[in-house]
Amino acid sequence: MHPAFSVLIFTVTAGAGYGLLGWLSANELFTWWALSIGMQISIGTIAMVLISIGLSASTWHLANPKNAWRSFSCFRTSWLSREAVFAILLYPVAAMYAAAIYFQWESVSIWAGLCLLFSFIIVFVTAMIYASLKTIRQWHHPLVPILYLLFAAMSGGLAWAFLLAWNDLELGLLIPVLGALVAFTTLTKLSYFWLFKVPGGSSIQTATSFLKQKVRILDAGHSAPSFLNNEFIYDVASVKLLRMRWLMLSTTFVIPFGLLYWLPNTLSLALAFVIMMAGLLTERWLFFAEARHVVRLLHGQQRV
C-alpha cells in the first residue's frame, strides 16, 4: 500500500495526543500525582493540540474535502465514520473536562472518565478502519488495534513523563511502568512481524479462478501506471524494508528504553519522546509499505 504522508502524521500525532489525554484523565481518576490546576489544563491543551494537528493532517488525504462533513452520516456501518464522530464528540467532552478542572466541579471525575473512554475508543476505531479490510491480510488482524492502542499509550506516556519531570514532580513508578510498556509493545510488534513472515491467504489462483493450474501474468493491460498501481503496488527493495525495520525497532523501542533507564531526567525524556515519534512515523510507514493488497495478484504477484 502506498504510504500517504498525511495519514502517517495523523495516526502518529493524534495517537500520542489521545495517549497523553488518557494519562491525564487516568491520573484524575486515580490521583497518582497531585497536579496544579494550571498544569492539568496545559497538559490537556497540549494533548488537544496534538490531536488537532493529527486530525487536520487526515483531511489533506481527502481528494474531495468539501464533502468531509458528510462522513458523520454512516455511524452504524463504517469505521471511518465512527472515527469521525467520536473525534468530533471528544472536543465538547474535553472542554467540559477543562471547565470542571478550572471551576473545581464535583463532576470532574466523570468528565475525566469520559475523556479516557473516548481516547481509548477513538484509537481503537481508527485502527479498525484498517483491521476491517479483508483485502489486506497484514491489516486484517486483532494485533492491529492492540498495537495502535499500545503505541498511543506508550508515546502519550512518554510525553506525560516528560511534562511531569519538567514540572519537577517525582516520577516514581512511572519509569518502570513505561519501560515495561515499551518492552511489551516491542514483543507484540515482533510477534506481528513473525506472523506475517510468510505470504498466505488469497493467491493468483483464487484471483483468476484457475485453482489447480499455474498462473502467470502476461500483460497487466495498461501502458503506464494507473491509480491501482500507485495506490496498491508500492514496491520497495526488500533490503530497504529490512533497514527500515531495524531503524524502526531502534528508534521506537531500544533508544527510548535506554534513555528511560540510564538518564531519567527532563532532557532525556524530551529526547526519548522526539525519537519515539520519529520511530513511530517509520513504524506507520512500514505498516503501509509492507501491507499487500490482493489487487497485486491481478498484477502478477503469486501470493500476498
Partner 1 sequence: MKLGLAIDLDTCVGCHACATACKQWNTSGTIGPLTDTNPYGKNPNGAWLNRIRTFEVGESPQSKTVNMPLSCMHCEDAACVTVCPTGASYKRDEDGIVLIDQDRCMGCNLCAWACPYGARELDPGSGTMKKCTLCVDRIYDEQLPESERQPACVITCPTNSRVFGDFDDPESEVSKLHKQRDGKPLMPELGYNPVNTYLPPREPIQRPQGGKVLGKVKQIVNRIIYR
Cα 294 to chain centroid distance, Å, stands at 23
Measured from the CB atom, the residue of 1 and 171 that comes closer to partner 1 is 1
Q: x/- contact string, 79-98, with partner 1 (CB under 8 A)?
A: xxx--x--------------
Q: Which of 56, 78, 109, 188 binds partner 1 (CB under 8 A)?
A: 78
Q: How far is the CB of 100 from partner 1 (least distance, A)?
A: 31
Contact between 304 and 296 under an 8 Å Cβ cutoff? The reply is yes
Measured from the CB atom, the residue of 62 and 95 that comes closer to partner 1 is 62
Round to whole Å and give the CA distance between 42 and 57.
22
Round to whole Å and give the CA distance between 40 and 27.
10
Residues 128-187 that bind partner 1 (CB under 8 A): 129, 132-136
Measured from the CB atom, the residue of 169 and 228 that comes closer to partner 1 is 228
Round to whole Å and give the CA distance between 213 and 197.
25
Q: Which of 31, 45, 191, 226 binds partner 1 (CB under 8 A)?
A: 226
Contact between 252 and 20 under an 8 Å Cβ cutoff? The reply is no
Residues 237-276 that bind partner 1 (CB under 8 A): none
Contact region with partner 1 (CB under 8 A), list: 99-107, 157-165, 211-219, 269-277: 211-219
Is position 46 an interface residue for partner 1 (rule: CB under 8 A)?
no
Count of chain residues binding partner 1 (CB under 8 A): 56
The dihedral formed by the CA atoms of 72, 78, 80 and 84, expressed in degrees to the nearest 10: 30
Is position 295 an interface residue for partner 1 (rule: CB under 8 A)?
yes
Q: How far is the CB of 68 from partner 1 (least distance, A)?
A: 5
Q: Which residues contact 55 (CB under 8 A, 6 or more apart)?
A: 10, 14, 87
Return the biggest CA–CA distance within the chain.
72
Contact between 14 and 51 under an 8 Å Cβ cutoff? The reply is yes
Round to whole Å and give the CA distance between 96 and 110.
10
Residues 56-75 that bind partner 1 (CB under 8 A): 61-68, 70-71, 73-74
Round to whole Å and give the CA distance between 73 and 43.
32
Q: How far is the CB of 232 from partner 1 (least distance, A)?
A: 7
Measured from the CB atom, the residue of 179 and 199 that comes closer to partner 1 is 199
Q: Could you list the residues that contact partner 1 (CB under 8 A)?
A: 1, 61-68, 70-71, 73-74, 77-81, 84, 129, 132-136, 201-202, 204, 206-210, 213-228, 231-232, 293-295, 298-299
